[in-house]
Structure 1
Amino acid sequence: MSIKTDTVNTIVGQEIPRVLASREEALAAVAALCERIAARAEQTEKNRSVPEETIRELTDAGLFGIVTPRMGGGSELGFATLLEVQSEIASACASTGWVYGVLAGHTWLVALFSEKAQAEVFADPRALVASLIRFGGEAPERVEGGFRWRGGRGRFCSGIDHSQWVLLGGTVTEDDGTAEQWYLLVHRSEVEIVDDWHAVGLKGTGSKSIVIKDAFIPEHRAVRFADLGAGRAPGAELHMGGLYRLAYDSVWPLSLAGAVIGAARGALEEFTAATSRRLESLPPLLQASNGPALARLAKAAAQIDAMAGLLRSDALQSDNASEGTVYTPLDKARRSRNLAFAAQQLRASVNDLYESAGGSGVYTSAAIQRWWRDVNAAASHVAFTWDLASVAYGRQATGIGALSGAGTGPAVRS
């Protein structure tokens, strides 16, 4: 499988997305878009979905292809670059940053499916993929040649408005009575969107519910979670990069974390600008009395820089993993701990800034309140739950291991 990508070529009348050569090129590409993304932030929130214009610009710039394998038409630059790019986007608009990370990250997952499934998705170099890792309702059934799914339903399908495919996780009862968790790749035409995304934060992510009434999923569009977790998924050997042979739960959901970093930075920039405007008109003695606000600013800046560094370190470790790298249960627990810790520290930094903003921050016209809502919504994702991640790490660190029945599959929603 090989898909030629060149910005001067077209497929069915559409320009093929740019292929980015380096991290620096990716950061330059996103910097060129951030002003326009920020200008659409209110529209994004009002429409409860990222504007198609923004999706088109991100696609044209090649930014959705950062962790797409080269043979699938992507740049294969890795998760550290994805984290940085997502942070930049989210610092302009948190909802856009969230959707970007979700859709861009899923191309890495598609690269773990069979060659035939990858060819179907990557045949359209502009195709985007949404996901619900735990899809509820009726369970899929094994049938001849694949799976039949009737009556499936799930919430929080971020970016589904812009997707041509969706990855859905479900438990299948095999003929011998055993239960096996599978990840199934379903075409968007098989999915019905339920327009129910009315949220307090990340309003523009369009994280709507979806329903499958009756869909057939062929065998080649299915992969066992057990194989994903062991780093032996069908598509792993098709790609040169070791990143595609890492265990699923040692990498995911790095592609979500940049949204929290970027939104926290957006809040800090807004607070800094507002504080500067307020203090510059005051006499020195009154400026001095505002020391606590400046101290909060400094603390938040330090927290954001530290957490960004922590997560970038983990992302680089994945990107640079040598062939055959296997993460121990303690390694995986540490990485989950870092994700949750970072998200909650970022949430705390923004809550501190919002508290210091005082009464002016409660107006819906105040920019700081949107950042506050968005960061708190993002940090509520189950992957960032400190109560879960901290206990799981503690059990591994002390040697008592995971709880019986735990770790049977990903507990992550998108």
Structure 2
Amino acid sequence: MDNTAASFPALARAENACLSDRIAPLLDEIRAAARDTERTGRVPAHNIDLLRAAGYFDIVKPARFGGEQGSFAELVDANIELSAACASTGWVAGLLSAHQWLLAMFEERVQREVWGSNPDALLCGSYAPVRMADRVEGGFRLTGEWAFASGCENAQWALCAAIIPARAEGERPVPAFLLVPASDYTTAETWDVVGLAGTGSKSLILKEVFVPEYRMLTFSDATTGRTPGGRGYKGIGLFNIPLLMGVPFCLGSTAVGAAKGALASYLDHMGTRVTRGAVAGGNNKIAEFPTIQLRVAEAAASVDAAREIMLRDITRAQELAQAREGGHGEITDDDRLLARRTQSFAVSLSLRAVEAMNASTGGLGLQMSNPVQRAWRDANAVGRHISMNWDAVGTMVGQQLLGLPPKGQY
């Protein structure tokens, strides 16, 4: 167990302080290191230690394992603030925290295996089930490469998605998460990108790794919110939220935060800058140009709208799960698709905001150290994720509204 977090006594968790307030004192330091985080291609262990001391990885973790068992909305709101300082740190920390919640979906003995040996254990994940698991006595064997494992350098376990072979003739193979300790895989330097470069989303290399069957969670169980672990938290809505009504909100919050951080930087810079070019005339205040004023207004409105709909619908998801646990109603396809719409459209609004600002930063905006440009690259990287891509999600939502069967992940 890393005791570094104990060296930050100023971060003692204030009673009843929300997570956003707890991390507020950390943000200037994380922001100052954002460029180095990008250069090194991974979130510094120091950032993880700071966030752990503030309780970042406990907010949606079960109380019986030392977590706060709180509100998913509180995590999403804090992740917007964290991503405003450093989107790469926000992307990784949001996922590592959400994976504490996802671990609670596995059988209780899996939870005891992970947190019993290390209460601070964190999980990365590779979600695309592109590899077939080999069925062997007592479990499965995995061999191959698992890509895009964000935060793998900061994690002690990995969720490796795979296709599970059918048990008998007539049955169909099913996708599932298989949980693997870091000692069973190596990482490959496959992460050389223009956006979210600091997430260290490298590939995991597994060679003949045995995974016992009890360390499996099927996608069908996870996406319905009816899981082996969730049954152990009967009556607690938090741990019975369907997977895609939870984790993607953390992904989307990264883009919203990146746009929020870009707006703050843009306002600081443009508020004092004057023109130097011959076309616009020298020594004119850029803040007085109506086009700049409109860009700022549009960016501010887009960020505000994105944050509001995200917090509204992640709160709604937890309330629906809580009501279902109390025997009041069910979570419908309409509910799931609303969550997916919000997650993706919030990213679309964020892209609109960063595009409006980045397009008017001038020559100085070409510098890799420019926070607006970095936010533009990071937000666009979020938008490339299949769960966040508006073309993919919007089409699915449109199909549902038009009375067609939705085709996609919800």
Quick check: TM above 0.5? yes
Kindly report which structure 2 residues correspond to 1:376-395, keeping only aligned pairs within 5 A, or say none: 376-395=380-399
Asked if residue 326 in structure 1 is aligned to residue 330 in structure 2, the reply is yes
Is 2:259–2:350's contact at 8 Å kept on the other side of the alignment? yes
Q: Structure 1 residues 14, 73: CA separation in 2 closer, same or farther (over 3 Å shift)? A: farther
| Correspondence for 2:186 among 166, 173, 192 | 192
Partner of 1:207: 201
| Code of the aligned partner of 1:206 | G
* Aligned residue type for 1:387: D
1:241-262 CA distance string (max 9 Å, x none): 2121222223231121221111
- 1:34·1:92 contact (CA, 8 Å) conserved in 2? yes
Alignment partner of 1:254: what SS?
helix
CA deviation string 1:326-347 (max 9, x = no partner): 3211221221111111101101
Superposed structure 1 runs of 4+ greater than 4 Å apart = 11-23, 279-289
Which of 65, 84, 90 pairs up with 2:83?
A: 90
Which residue of structure 1 lines up, in the alignment, with residue 308 of structure 2? Answer: 309
Aligned length: 394
Q: Give the aligned residue type for 1:175.
A: R
Following superposition, the deviation at residue 358 of structure 1 comes to 2.1
| Structural RMSD (CA) | 2.5
Equivalent residue in structure 1 for 2:168, among 151, 176, 181: 176
Unaligned runs of 5+ in 1: 1-10
In the aligned structure 2, how far is the partner of 1:75 from the partner of 1:256? 21
CA distance in 1, matches of 2:12, 2:238: 18
After superposition, the C-alpha distances for 1:60-115 in whole angstroms (9 at most, x for unaligned) are 22111111111121112221111111111111111111111111111111000001
Q: Distance between the aligned counterparts of 1:20 and 1:332, measured in 2?
A: 34
In the alignment, is residue 116 of structure 1 matched against residue 129 of structure 2?
no
The alignment-based identity, stated in percent, is: 33
TM-superposed CA distance for 1:19, in Å, is 9.3
Deviations 1:179-198 (A, max 9, x none): 12221111111111001211
Spell out, residue by residue over 1:13-53, the C-alpha distance to the aligned partner (whole angstroms, 9 max, x if none): 67789996877332221101111111211211111111111
Do the aligned partners of residues 210 and 257 (structure 1) sit closer, same or farther apart at CA in structure 2, a change above 3 Å counting? same
CA distance in 2, matches of 1:20, 1:235: 28
Instruction: Give the structure 1 partner of residue 253 of structure 2.
Output: 258
Q: 1-side partners of 2:193 and 2:284: how far apart?
A: 43
Matches within 5 A, 1:354-393: 354-393=358-397
Classify 1:203/1:13 alpha carbon distance in 2 versus 1 (closer, same or farther; 3 Å). Answer: closer
CA contact (8 A) 1:19 1:75 kept: no
Query: Which residue is 2:154 aligned to?
Result: 162
Partner of 1:270: 265
CA–CA distance in structure 1, aligned partners of residues 16 and 379 of structure 2:
26
**Corresponding residue for 1:7?**
none
| C-alpha contact 1:48 1:197 (8 A) present in aligned 2 | yes
* Structure 1 residue 148 displacement after superposition: 1.4
Task: Indicate how the Cα distance of structure 1 residues 209 and 289 shifts in structure 2: closer, same or farther if over 3 A, else same.
Answer: same
Q: Show structure 2 runs of 5+ residues with no match.
A: none
Instruction: Work out whether 1:57 is the aligned partner of 2:50.
Output: yes
Evaluate the alpha carbon distance shift between residue 249 and residue 372 of structure 1 in structure 2; reply closer, same or farther with a 3 A threshold.
Answer: closer
SS of 1:66's equivalent in the other structure is coil
Distance in 1 between residues matched to 2:141 and 2:299, nearest whole Å: 50
Q: 1:131 touches 1:157 (CA, 8 Å); kept in 2?
A: yes
Structure 1 CA distance for aligned equivalents of residues 82 and 5 of structure 2: 22
Q: Secondary structure at the match of 2:99?
A: helix
**Counterpart Cα distance in 2 of 1:182 and 1:102:** 18
- Contact 2:275–2:284 at 8 Å: present in 1 too? no
Change (3 A) 1:393 1:12: closer
Matching of residue 248 in structure 1 with residue 243 in structure 2: yes
CA shift, 1:286, in A, is 5.5
Q: Does the 8 Å contact 1:148/1:214 carry over to 2?
A: yes
Give the distance between the partners of 2:97 and 2:290, measured in 1 at CA.
Answer: 42
2:73 counterpart (71, 75, 80)? 80
2:350 match: secondary structure:
helix
Does 107-116 or 234-243 show the bigger shift? 234-243
Q: 1:31 aligns with which of 8, 11, 24?
A: 24
Q: Is the 8 A contact 1:83 1:312 kept in 2?
A: yes
Shift of 1:285: 7.6
